[in-house]
Structure 1
Amino acid sequence: MNIITNYGSAPDGVIAFGTGGYPGDVSNDGCATIGGTIFIHDASNGASGSWTWPGHMDALIPSKTPASFFSSVAADQKTLDAIKLEMIKPKNNPANVLQLIIAPDAVAVSSVNEPPPYCDADKNSIAKAQQAGATNVTSVETTHGVIRSMWDAPFMYVTAIPNRVCYFEEEARNVYAQEFPSSHNAGIALKYVIPSFVRTIVQ
């Protein structure tokens, strides 16, 4: 990312795209989530690894993307239906309804410097985010927060959900038929949403 940062002028907008877990027992495997707010927690409390974003740890970091962007997409049933039609089921424990999950209050939790066992670290980071005021955690993915830290520009995260938090081993590890459909579905969601994102950030 330093290479990108040094390549030219600052970006007009930033999209973080990756796979991540969805909290809770109900499966959303195969769904895609989109939001703007990030919460970053040092899962090792300084004991493992050194990555940090001074002044921004353990706090809800809002996006400069207007909340109206997320709410307007969430209310656009035609677009949501079009995304659903192109989604494909993952192999293991697919969601009852494959869909894009998008909301103005959606939060992505990033556990950095994360030591094993990852389940405990992720659950602790989610709890920290909730204590900070997060009521709608839709993604647990480390690199979303790291990417967000690089540029102070309109931002959104797009998360492919191949597994529930704490169920990576059972649902997604080394399962191409799990990771591929989930990533495909998030790519479909991004295809439909990105024109609206571009229109929003250039206004």
Structure 2
Amino acid sequence: MERRKHIYFVALILAVAAITSSCAYDSYELSKTVFIPDYENPGLPIYSEWGYNTFGMYIDRSTFVSTDHILPSKIIVNPDTFNIRLSGFYQSVSTTLTISVIGYAPRDYPDLISLNDSTINLKEDNCIITLGKKSEKAVKLPIIDGYITFKKAQNLYVDNELSKTILSGTIQFRTFFDGEPVAITNGRFDLGIGYENFYYYVR
């Protein structure tokens, strides 16, 4: 009888460990970048709505894309401004593009579904865009025109528990780099936002 109890206890411990390991694995898998090439737009990931944690765009003829080595996105709200940061590589240099929208302030990542099927005019809608390369100070970009469209915002559940909010959409705008006009085109993003990359705080 005691031996049977011992076997049952060991089996229970192993089951709990397996479940815990599975949950940790699922969380890890959901945070990975899945880069599927878009052969019609070389160097960019395909447009997707599956939470692949990718983004990409052309800056004139160069690519600015997410990588496996850098967390591709962070959202920081503080407290009346929504900042979405896209980090990747541009011309072989780690680069971060930040889009700030004044007046939009979700308190937690599930609230991001309010962005579903919405477009923000980057020229007119109280927006500020900055670009920073490596350890250089970020530079504010003057916007000629452009937009960011959140085609789909959806909550992702794993085992009936909210895991991520997926933001998918497109972006394009025209600006100046060092006085030279440039166009950001064919921009697309598919981002999983959760506990590890959503921050709301009051300074």
Give the structure with the higher percent helix. 1
Larger Rg: 2
After TM superposition, is the score higher than 0.5? no
TM-score by length of 1: 0.27
TM-score by length of 2: 0.27
Give the structure with the higher percent strand. 2
